Amino acid sequence: MSIHASGRSRKAKIWRYRNAVREDSRAIVGQVEDMPGPGTVVSICVTNVYLPDWQTGEPTLNAISHAPMTPEAMDISVIEQTGTSEPIPEFTDARAEWRANEKAGVFIVPVAEVVKYIGEAIAKGKVIS
């Protein structure tokens, strides 16, 4: 059964995900919505990830404030629900910025690959929205 069909993608659920670099890293569902174009979007934040510091390039423990995912990408990512929680405080503003960007897309790859991609983009000095 898929994460979306089973209701597992409902808001405020915390998920352990496959191939996380840190055992305590979690994906928190902040919003699930139907949108023109991509269809259903599961907006998550990801906690306890190492991302490069934008000034020094050194890895620092951080969070990804918003990552828009397809339900299918979440299906192949999540292992188990570990609790419930609201997303991190930065989630709302980051999600609003993503919604305002007409060129912004939706990730179709697993959460661990999203974390890797965002880390690589930061290391290269690219802006992600």
Residue with tokens 């269809």: 39
Could you count the other beta carbons within 10 Å of the beta carbon of residue 34?
8
- Tell whether 48 is covered by a domain: yes
pLDDT of residue 3: 52
Nearest to 26 by CA among 70, 64, 68, 73: 64
- pLDDT digit string, tens, across residues 85-125: 999 999 999 999 999 998 889 999 999 999 999 998 888 87
- Tell whether 1 is covered by a domain: no
Share of the chain above pLDDT 90, in %: 68
Query: Which residues, at least 6 apart from 59, have a Cβ–Cβ distance to it below 8 Å?
Result: 50, 51, 52, 53
- Tell whether 102 is covered by a domain: yes
- pLDDT digit string, tens, across residues 36-84: 888 899 999 999 999 988 778 788 889 999 999 999 999 999 999 999 9
pLDDT of residue 127: 61
Tell me which residue range forms the domain holding 89.
13-123
